[in-house]
Amino acid sequence: MKPYRHEVKYYECDRMGITHHSNYIRFMEEARVDWMDQMGYGFERMEAEGVVSPVVSIECNYQHPTTFKDLIDIEVRIVAMTTLKIKFSYTMTCNGRIVCRAESTHCFMENGKPVALADRFPELYKAITAPEPA
């Protein structure tokens, strides 16, 4: 999959001119939505079919600051998946330098209850677990 690119906006920076740490979580979500679109099974389709995927946990390791107008490339990968949960890793780079490494874990739910994706939504499970094209 192609990395997602985010240009840091002025309002995403704090008083010191540095991208506020909370925005990296938003960048992760933007990249994850783009990743799903690239795999051909976007959030709109998933949610229209009744599946939601709330965040269970997030971990961010900030390594280098970014500032207004910086371009952050975000690589998304699956690092673990069960029928009930999925864990993504995010590597964010700017000008060839790693600025943040992060992970997010999500569960799958239908009507407010955990759902076994492989059993209930096999087409979505297959799309997520398909090998990436070379």
CATH code of the domain covering residue 21: 3.10.129.10
Residue 113 belongs to a domain:
yes
Each residue's pLDDT tens digit, 28-54 = 999 999 999 999 889 999 999 999 999
Each residue's pLDDT tens digit, 72-114 = 999 999 999 998 999 999 999 999 999 999 999 999 999 999 9
Residue 106 belongs to a domain:
yes
- Judged against a pLDDT cut of 80, whether residue 131 lies above it is answered with no
Tell me, what's the pLDDT at 32?
A: 97
Residue 107 belongs to a domain:
yes
Residue 92 belongs to a domain:
yes
Residue 134 belongs to a domain:
no
Q: How many domains does the chain have?
A: 1
Residue 58 belongs to a domain:
yes
Q: Which two tokens stand for residue 97?
A: 């330098």
DSSP one-letter string for 14-80: -TTSBBPTTHHHHHHHHHHHHHHHHHT--HHHHHHTT-B--EEEEEEEE-S--BTT-EEEEEEEEEE
Domain that holds residue 89: 4-129
Rounded CA-CA distance 16/36 in Å is 34
The pTM of this model reads 0.92
The predicted model gives 54-79 an average pLDDT of 97
Residue 81 belongs to a domain:
yes
Do 77 and 1 form a contact (C-beta atoms < 8 A)? no
